Structure 1
Amino acid sequence: MADRLPDSPPARGPLAHRTVVVTGAARGLGAAQAHALARRGARLALLGHEGPALEAVAAALPTPAVAVEVDITDAAALRRAADTVRARLGPPSAVVANAGIAEGGPFETEDMDVWRRVVDVNLTGSALTARTFLPDLEETAGYYLQIASLASIGAAPMMSAYCASKAGVEAFAHSLRAEVAHRGVAVGIAYINWTDTDMIRDADRYAVLRELRAHMPPPARQVFPAQEVAERLARAVERRRTAVYVPGWLRLAQLTRAALPPLVLRRCRRALPRLEAREAFGQTGPLGAGGRADSESAHLSSSGRKGSI
C-alpha cells in the first residue's frame, strides 16, 4: 500500500473533495478514469494488482490518492483495503467497479480453471467490491458504477467467459439498483465498446479475434482512446447516471439486442470455417499485462493454499 496526500487544489462540482474508489486502476481504462476523476477534484482510492503501477498512477494525480494492492476476489483482503481507504481518505462517495480480465479461444478446449477465473474476477469480484463498500455508499448517499460492455448486450464467439461475466455484471447491477435505491444509493451501468488498452492490443495479435472484430459492422469495430472513454465515464459518475453508453450508438444496440444473437450467428457461420481452415484455433491465455498480473497473483495464492494445512 502506498499513498500520496498533497493539498487538494481548488475544485468545484459534485466530486470535489469526495472519495472515489476505482478498481483495476493500475493501467488502461482504470488509470485513465483516475485522472479524469481527479481533474474533477475527487480523492482517489486505487485498487488492484501491480502495486508499483498503482503507486505511479497515484503519484501522477493532482488530488489526494491512496494506492492499495489487493485481489478483488479476496473478501478479507478487500475489507482491509476498505479500512485503509476510510482511514486515509474518508468513506467513499462513489465506487467504480472497473477491474476485469479476458482470454479467448474455443470453449471446447478451454481450461475451465482459467474460464472460472475470468468469471470470478469480472463478476464475483465486482459483487465483492459492491458488498465491501456498500455501507460507505449508504452513509454518503453514494453511487456505484459497474463497468459492463457491448458483450453484456451481444455475446461473441471465442470469448465465452468474458461474455458470460459481462452479462452477469449487467444483471447484478440491475438487481442491486432496485435493492438499494430507497437507501439513497444510485447504481449505474457503463456499456463500453472496444477501448484502446493493452488487453485489446493483445487480442489483436490473434488472427481469429482480430478478424472476428473486422467482420463486425463498421461502427462496432472502431477502437476508442481510453482517455475519451474515461471522460465519459467520469461525467457519468458526476451525474449519477443510470446508464452510460460509449460510444452513444450502443444505446441502439440495447434497443435491438434481441436481434444481435441471430446476426452474430449468421456472420460466424460464414467466417469461422474460413478462419479455421487457415489456422487452428487455440487459447490466448490471459490478455494484456493486467490479465497476466492477475494470473500470476492467482497462481501464487493457489500455491500458498496448496502448501498449507
Structure 2
Amino acid sequence: MGTWGPPGISGKVVVITGAARGIGADAARRLARAGAKVALVGLEPDELRRTAQSCGPDATAWDADVTSWDQLNAAVGGIVEHYGGIDVVVANAGVAPTGFIRSIDPAAFERTIEINLLGVWRTVRTALPHIIKSKGYVLVVSSAAALIHPPALAAYTASKAGAEAFGDSLRAEVKHLGVDVGVAYFSWVKTDLVTSADSHPVLGKFRKAAPGPASRVYPVEKVGQAVVAGITKRSRVICVPSWLNNLRRFHGMLPAIVEKANARATARADREMIADVEKRGAEAASRLTGPGGAAAQAAKTVATASETLKESATTTSTENA
C-alpha cells in the first residue's frame, strides 16, 4: 500500500460524490482544512455550493447525477481542467429506501441499486484514468449493511454488498498501477438520511429496536475524521465503529445470527409495512429517505421526462419524413 507522508494530503485534489451534506460534506470540510483541494459533486446545487463555500477558496462544486455518464464526464472533465488532475475519488453518493421486499415500491428498490452500485461503478470508471495517472487512491463507501444484511433494507444491503465486492476487485486490478483502493464500512450515522428513515412510521421504530449496538447512531464527525485519516494513509479498510473490522472476518455467518435476533420484530414490522403501504401507497411508504433521496428521485424524474421528449421527437420526425 502506498503512503502520503508529511504533508499528507495537502495539495491533493479530492473528488467526493454525494458531498452536499452528511458524510461527504463533513469529510470535505476536514480534507480542506488539511490542505486538500476538494471538488464536490452532487445533486442539490444550493446546498452543494454552501458546502463548497465552507471548505474555502480552493473548493469547487459540480452538479452531476452519478447515474448519468454524460453528467459525470462533464464534471470530471471540468475538475481536471480546473485543477490539472485528480488524486483521490470518494464514491460516496448513496440513498436508502424503506420497505420489505414483498411490499416495497419497485421503482425505489431499483433506483437504490442504480445510485449505490451503478453510480459507484460510473464514478470510478470516469475518474480512474486520472487516478492511474497520479498513482492515487479510490475510496468506495460501502456500509455495515454489506456485512450484516438486516431486514427491511434489502435494496440498500444488496447495493452496498455489491459496492464492497466492486472495491475488492478494483483493488486487485489496479495495484500494479500504483493505485490503492479502500472500502469504507459505516454503521448508522447521524445524517439526514438516517434521521429521515427514523421518522418513517415503521422503519424508525424497527431500527431503534435492533439488539445491542446495532441500533446505535454514531456522530457524523467521527466518520468524517475516519475518512480523512483513511485517505491520508491510503487505507485498505475504514470502519466506524472499529469493531466492524472484526465482523469482516466472519460475516458469512452473520445473516443467520441477524435473522434469529430479529425474528419477532421482523414479522411485526413486515405486517406493519403492508398496512402502511395500503394506507399511504407503495410510493410514499417506500420513498428514498432524506433530502438527498428526494434530489435523486427528482433527477430520475427529469431524466425520464427528457428521454420521453426525445422519443416523441424521434417518432414525430419519422412520421413526417
For Structure 1 versus Structure 2, the TM-score category normalised by the shorter chain is over 0.9
Match of 1:135 in 2: 129
Give the aligned partner of residue 6 of structure 1: none
- Report deviation, 1:14: 1.9
- Higher normalized strand content (fraction of residues): 1
8 Å contact from structure 2 (residues 100, 270) kept in 1 = no
Which one has a larger percent helix, Structure 1 or Structure 2?
2
Give, in whole Å, the separation in 2 of the partners of 1:190 and 1:27: 18
Deviation for aligned residue 1:207: 3.9
Question: Take 2:165 and 2:179, find their aligned partners in 1: how far apart are those partners?
Answer: 17
The Cα of 1:96 is off from its aligned counterpart by 0.5
Among candidates 189, 195, 202, match of residue 196 of structure 2:
202
The one-character-per-residue Cα deviations of 1:138-189 (angstroms, maximum 9, x if unpaired) are: 1111000000101111111111111100000000000001000000000000
1:105 equivalent to 2:105? Answer no
* CA distance in 1 between partners of 2:7 and 2:177 (Å): 23
Gaps of 5+ in 2: 1-5, 278-284, 315-321
Cα deviations by residue, 1:51-72 (Å, 9 ceiling, x for unpaired): 1111111111135011000011
Q: Which residue of 2 aligns with 1:289?
A: 291
| 2:251 maps to 1:257 | yes
* Whole-Å separation in 1 of the counterparts to 2:200 and 2:185: 24
- Check 1:62–1:217 CA distance in 2 against 1; reply closer, same or farther (3 A cut): same
Q: Does the Cα contact within 8 Å between 1:42 and 1:63 map onto a contact in 2?
A: no
2:218 maps to which of 213, 216, 224: 224
- Comparing 13-22 with 219-228, which one deviates more in the overlay? 219-228
Once the two structures are aligned, what percentage of the paired residues are identical? Answer: 36
- Residue 92 in 1 paired to residue 94 in 2? no
User: Between Structure 1 and Structure 2, whose CA radius of gyration is higher?
Assistant: 2
Alpha carbons of structure 1 residues 212 and 260: separation in structure 2 relative to 1, 3 Å: farther
The answer to whether the 8 A contact 1:106-1:281 is kept is no
Are residue 18 (structure 1) and residue 16 (structure 2) matched? no
Per the normalisation by structure 1, the TM-score is 0.92
Q: CA deviation at 1:278?
A: 6.0
Q: TM-score, normalised by structure 2?
A: 0.89
CA contact (8 A) 1:206 1:284 kept: no
Residues 244-285 of structure 1 deviation map (CA, whole Å, 9 limit, x = unaligned): 111101112212312211112113321133345667253331
Output the amino acid matched with 1:227: E
Aligned-partner residue type, residue 293 of structure 2: G
Q: Which moved more, 1:245-254 or 1:137-146?
A: 245-254
Q: Which amino acid aligns with 2:74?
A: R
Query: Which secondary structure state, in structure 2, belongs to the residue aligned with residue 224 of structure 1?
Result: coil
Letter in 2 for 1:161: A
- Tell me which residue corresponds to 2:162: 168
Answer with 270-279 or 30-39: which moved more: 270-279
- Over the aligned positions, Cα root-mean-square deviation in angstroms equals 1.5
Contact 1:73 1:125 in 2 (8 A): yes
Which of 257, 263, 270 is residue 269 of structure 1 equivalent to? 263
Q: Distance in 1 between matches of 2:172 and 2:160?
A: 19
Residue identity opposite 1:234 in structure 2: V
Q: Distance in 2 between matches of 1:277 and 1:78?
A: 41
Distance 2:88 2:257 in 1: 37
Name 1:5's counterpart in structure 2: none
User: Contact 2:105–2:286 at 8 Å: present in 1 too?
Assistant: no
What corresponds to 2:186 in structure 1?
Answer: 192
Q: Distance in 2 between matches of 1:130 and 1:148?
A: 14
Write out per-residue CA displacement over residues 4-63 of structure 1, whole angstroms, 9 at most, x where no aligned residue: xxxxxxxx6221111000000011111101001111100010001011111111111135
Amino acid at match of 2:155: A
Letter in 2 for 1:294: A
Q: Which runs of 5+ in 1 are unaligned?
A: 1-11
Kept in 1, the 8 Å contact 2:40–2:52? The answer is yes
Give the structure 1 partner of residue 3 of structure 2.
none
